[in-house]
Amino acid sequence: MSEHDVTRLLGRVAAHTPHLDVDVSGVVDVGRRRVRRRRLTAGGATATVLVAALWLGQGPGRLGDQEVSPASVTWEVEEETTVDVLERINAERGRWTQPAMEEIRSLSVTKGPQGSSATYVVDGVEQTVEGETMAGGADLFVGEGVTVVLWRTAPGAKRDVNLVPYVSETSSEMTGSLEIDGADLSYWITVGASNYRPEEIIFHNGHQVWTASGQVATTVQLRDGDAEVTGFDLPQVPMIGIVDGETLGGVGQSARRAEDYTVARVPSEAVFARQVRMGQTQVGQEREVVDVGPAVPTEELPSADLVLFDWEGDDYSDVQWSADAITWHAQNQDDAAETTVQPGPVDPGGMVRLLDETYVVALDQHDWPELRKEDGSVFLSVSDEKGVIADGGAVMWREDWWPWSPRNYVYFAVGEERLPPVADGAELQDVVTVSGPAGVVTLGAVPARDG
């Protein structure tokens, strides 16, 4: 059975498709509702009102298509209690595994209805600090070189939490949980950072994300090939990141690489993104794109888009984005930085841009690719009723109506993937290869010059 037979058989199957239908007006109604819901999650005051309703325990809410019930994380006590936290941690975890943590010789917390304090010994010096209340009612103790956060473990949350802002100095962190008088508490201890004062705790349950203050993240599913993660956005933190099962992490301006996937953050105007492999260059020269991966649709979040790439290889270290899959921009560049290599070969049905005009790739009567304008008229064809006209040539047109006005050129080479140098040494731009069953045609343009 040939591939042609398969195509024929599938065509017959298509002709016998049962009666199926989708109500397009219903699609529009659903789309409008989702747009309104997204505006509620991304907006300012309105979102704050909804978050406050959740925080006050008025029942589970539904924001951004998620359903979580953020609740207070305050460790509440009826009478003053003093706990040797360090002893409890050592009992449950064993010896400290990070040398910096061994600087702490003791750590105890006193908690009562009127307030809290922490006493610890670091480098032989005892310090007592007053407790503060941070987001969600967590207890915060900020001392010289030590920061401790204690909170009642959030129901349903994974043990992996993030405190924001992140510590900017080199330091050691330890996080975990312990039980004190029947209360399930979680702790975070940072040693080595001076006056580190986190403002928010980020929780997740593997696919939903929320904060101690009650904000609920907008989430999207990211997938490519066999890779799949949940992307999230907390505009008011602000934080954009991913949840991959047990772990949560932020995605900054550089792509985040895991063992078998890469996640990148791209501007909101992006529709597609791709990984690219840059070539080796001499010192002082700009790197060029030597290969590109497949274009992957981006997923929209209120603050930016995220995109996930299944593993392409360590060489594909850069990311580009595009609004039309034709003009590509480097991930972190604000200006349109067109690459010299357009994705190719471009098959029939695809589009190419030459000198700021878009043409559709079609097939002529001999199955060679030809370029058509948006109105369907042929811009460039390499064959006529007798066959291929020539191995190469150019299409030219004047910039203006007078006979001596400068000319634009589009050069082409039939059956070749590169163009020969232009006679007067002009530099080719918009170089692209288009393909059809009969073969490939490579094109390049030279814009009209003054004079």
Partner 1 sequence: MRREQEDSFVEFATSVKPWLLTTAWMLSADRHAAEDLVQETLVRVYLKWSRVGREQPVAYARRVLANLHTDRWRRTRREVLVEEPHEGATGSVDAEVVDVIRALQSLGPRERESVVLRHYLDLSEKQTAETMGVSVGAVKGYTSRGLAALRATLKEDDHV
357 binds partner 1 (CB under 8 A): no
Contact 423, 448 (CB under 8 A): no
C-beta of 280: minimal distance to partner 1 in Å? 23
Pairing of strands 357-363, 351-354: antiparallel
Buried b (16+ CB within 10 A) or exposed e, 422-445: eeeeeebebbbbbbbebebbbbbb
Per-position x/- string for 25-54, each x denoting binding to partner 1 as judged by CB under 8 A, each - no binding: xxxx-xxx-xx-------------------
The rounded distance, in Å, linking the Cα atoms of 111 and 67 is 33
C-beta of 361: minimal distance to partner 1 in Å? 11
Size of the site for partner 1 (CB under 8 A): 49
The rounded distance, in Å, linking the Cα atoms of 95 and 18 is 67
Among 164, 183, 271, 426, binds partner 1 (CB under 8 A): 271
Cβ distance to partner 1 smaller for residue 27 or 125: 27
310 binds partner 1 (CB under 8 A): yes
The rounded distance, in Å, linking the Cα atoms of 213 and 224 is 33
297 binds partner 1 (CB under 8 A): yes
173 binds partner 1 (CB under 8 A): no
The rounded distance, in Å, linking the Cα atoms of 121 and 103 is 8
Among 46, 98, 106, 221, binds partner 1 (CB under 8 A): 221
123 binds partner 1 (CB under 8 A): no
The rounded distance, in Å, linking the Cα atoms of 350 and 339 is 18
336 binds partner 1 (CB under 8 A): no
Among 6, 49, 91, 378, binds partner 1 (CB under 8 A): 6
390 token code pair: 């020539």
Among 223, 398, 418, 449, binds partner 1 (CB under 8 A): 223
Contact 147, 131 (CB under 8 A): no
Write out the DSSP string of 212-243. Answer: TTS-B-EEEEEEETTEEEEEEEETTTTEEEEE
Among 77, 323, 360, 422, binds partner 1 (CB under 8 A): 323
Sites of contact with partner 1 (CB under 8 A):
1, 3, 6-7, 9-14, 16-18, 20-22, 24-28, 30-32, 34-35, 221, 223-225, 228, 269, 271, 293-297, 300, 310, 312, 323-326, 345, 347, 349, 351
